[in-house]
Amino acid sequence: MPYVTADDGAQIFYKDWGSGGTPVLFSHGWPLNADAWEAAALFLAEHGHRAIAHDRRGHGRSSQTWHGNEMDTYADDLACLINHLDLRDLTLVGHSTGGGEVVRYLGRHGSARVARAVLVGAVPPLMVRTDDNPDGLPIETFDAIRAGEATNRSQLYRDLADGPFFGHNRKQDVPQGFRDAFWLQSMACGHRAAYECIAAFSATDFRSDLAKIDRPVLVIHGDDDQIVPFEVGGKRSAALIDGAVLKVYEGSGHALPDTDRDRLHADLLAFIGA
């Protein structure tokens, strides 16, 4: 299995599918791994693109490091992978926490190798409510997730899968297989990594990173997202990125790579080829 070695020696697992074509690199949500993007990666690889997806440190098959479970290190790991594969004219696609990883990479490492980016149900600009972010979610929301992670994380993941992550509590037609895959991937995440990543996705302020983006950006968000509400995430990010295109999936929730596959794949293909 292919790995790249990060600056601190951590081993970052990645998949590299397809041959030739425009490279597309997928960043996954919490507490999942590269498998969450398999359907989109397969679709784009079959349509002539090179599709790459990695397991964030602490997640899946990558090293479960004690340190580095925060956005700066996630972005640096992403830079190691991009440089290792010498990717250019690159499309970055990030879902949820992965969208934060993409935005922090662009803010921290620049866009010399990047042609465009897609944010899908992404956590920027800032999820938690603060004095200068009054429309964010209360800290108690994330404290409850931390408590679930600390006391019975297996049950936490089942509750998320059967409830707000897929919107199964509102749409009773979300397949069991999607929910089982979420639980399986989540349990492969290291306990410390999963716990610390809650702060990374909720309390990292991406506003200055968004202001630095100088490449075309497509923002996709469901207007019934119960994890990253549209008003907190996609709507505000699109307003802060110069020239961003916003696509709202009406009635859709957070897990768009699964629940809205056909539409998302078509939108990705069209945006990459534009």
225 is catalytic: yes
The residues near 164 (Cβ < 8 Å, ≥ 6 apart) are 226, 227, 253, 254
Take residue 16 and report the two structure tokens written for it. 């590299």
Q: Which amino acid is at 4?
A: V
209 is catalytic: no
CA dist 117 and 217 (Å) reads 5
96 is catalytic: yes
Candidates 254, 258, 260, 267; catalytic one:
254
- Compute the half-sphere exposure of residue 222: CA atoms within 13 Å on the CB side of its CA: 25
CA dist 40 and 17 (Å) reads 11
CA dist 246 and 33 (Å) reads 26
Quick one: which H or E segment has residue 16? strand 11-17
CA dist 250 and 243 (Å) reads 22
Candidates 76, 209, 225, 258; catalytic one:
225
Candidates 27, 96, 186, 237; catalytic one:
96
Residues carrying an active site annotation: 96, 225, 254
